[in-house]
Amino acid sequence: MPATTLARRAFLGGAVAALAAARAFAQSPAPAGPVDPKLLDDLVAANRILADQGVVDGYGHVSVRHPADPQRYLMSRSIAPELVTAADVMEYDLDSTAVEPRGRASYLERFIHGEIYRARPDVRAVVHNHSPSVIPFGVSQVPLKPLYHMSAFLGGGVPVFDIKAAAGQPTDMLVRTPALGRALAQTLGERPVALMRGHGAVVVGDSLPRVVFRSVYTEVNARLQAQAMALGGPVTYLDEEEARRADASVGGTIPRPWELWKKKALAK
């Protein structure tokens, strides 16, 4: 083949690639604006804390709503939570389209976050985890209920999302589409926690410290509830009024464990 033909093909190939890149850039949403470094540090800390507390392992993800634009959220690229740094954080719109991805991979289940933020204007942070102790409560007929004051936020009930019922057919169990994200958000409703059958849980809150607190104590409550039930006798749970009062009291102390967990996790 003549050298001129090869050169022409190489030029055309480069032009096509450049055009595709330009189109992709044009279709990407513009950034919402600068983010306070402290918020990025807290998002990194939230990932590290949940790994340190055994709520997440190589899987799971944490997001926070963008402070400058409620139609955006921040979450790391697809990476193990314990390894997240501020440089890994990406911006997404509520369709879960990445802003300036720069070749970085996104979590397959990012639609969990976008659709919950869309449905719940009150939510400022979201955690998806595969917390081991909650799994049995998502696959059995035994409801997860608060049995001590630290998990009083569970007092309104914990629904279970069944992805097969939502999709109308068997799936790979991953919330990998906006429609499945919407179905999960509908199951969650106005509650702080929903279980996902055969998968894990989603937890929401009005801040990163609160969503981390709830994620940790959902796991702890599930473990303690299973232990209490294994004793064989009746289990006494918090009643509605006890849960309401305890949640109000304990909720004001969240900065205490947050600072402790943060110090421990970031020291590693």
| pLDDT tens column, 216-244 | 999 999 999 999 999 999 999 999 999 99
Residue 198 pLDDT more than 70?
Answer: yes
* Alpha helix ranges (H) inside the chain: 3-27, 37-52, 111-119, 135-139, 163-167, 178-188, 208-230, 240-251, 255-266
50 burial level (CB within 10 Å; 0-12, 13-18, 19+): buried
Name the more confident of 20 and 180.
Answer: 180
Whole-number pLDDT of residue 77: 98
Range name among 9-13, 62-66, 210-214, 236-240 with the lowest pLDDT average: 9-13
Rounded Cα gap, residues 137 and 151, in angstroms:
15
pLDDT digits (tens, 9 = 90+) for 122-149: 999 999 999 999 999 999 999 999 999 9
Residue 116 pLDDT more than 80?
Answer: yes
The maximal CA–CA distance of the chain, rounded, in angstroms, is 86
pLDDT > 90: percent of the chain: 87
Instruction: Evaluate whether 131 touches 201 at the Cβ level (below 8 Å).
Output: yes
Contacts of 203 (CB under 8 A, 6+ apart): 126, 127, 128, 129, 192, 193, 211, 214, 215, 218
Whole-number pLDDT of residue 6: 39
Strands 89-93 vs 125-129: parallel, antiparallel or unpaired: unpaired
Given pLDDT bands bounded at 50, 70 and 90, which one contains residue 32?
A: confident
Whole-number pLDDT of residue 70: 98
Over residues 104-133, the mean pLDDT reads: 98
Whole-number pLDDT of residue 27: 61
CATH architecture type of domain 37-266: 3-Layer(aba) Sandwich (3.40)
CA-nearest of 50, 165, 163, 44 to 111 is 163
Catalytic residue among 82, 91, 109, 115: 109
Whole-number pLDDT of residue 41: 98
Rounded Cα gap, residues 151 and 190, in angstroms:
17
Rounded Cα gap, residues 198 and 35, in angstroms:
36
Whole-number pLDDT of residue 218: 99
Given pLDDT bands bounded at 50, 70 and 90, which one contains residue 33?
A: confident
Helix (H) / strand (E) element for 161: namely strand 160-161
Contacts of 267 (CB under 8 A, 6+ apart): none
Instruction: Evaluate whether 206 touches 123 at the Cβ level (below 8 Å).
Output: yes
How far from the centroid of its chain's Cα atoms is residue 97's Cα?
Answer: 16
Residue 95 pLDDT more than 50?
Answer: yes
Instruction: Evaluate whether 221 touches 195 at the Cβ level (below 8 Å).
Output: no
Residue 119 pLDDT more than 70?
Answer: yes
Looking at every residue in the chain, the average pLDDT score rounds to 92
pLDDT > 70: percent of the chain: 90
Given pLDDT bands bounded at 50, 70 and 90, which one contains residue 192?
A: very high
CA-nearest of 60, 113, 108, 109 to 91 is 113
Whole-number pLDDT of residue 257: 98
Whole-number pLDDT of residue 18: 45
259 has catalytic annotation: no
Whole-number pLDDT of residue 3: 45
Rounded Cα gap, residues 18 and 139, in angstroms:
49
Contacts of 136 (CB under 8 A, 6+ apart): 142, 222, 226
How far from the centroid of its chain's Cα atoms is residue 102's Cα?
Answer: 22
Residue 14 pLDDT more than 70?
Answer: no
Name the more confident of 91 and 6.
Answer: 91
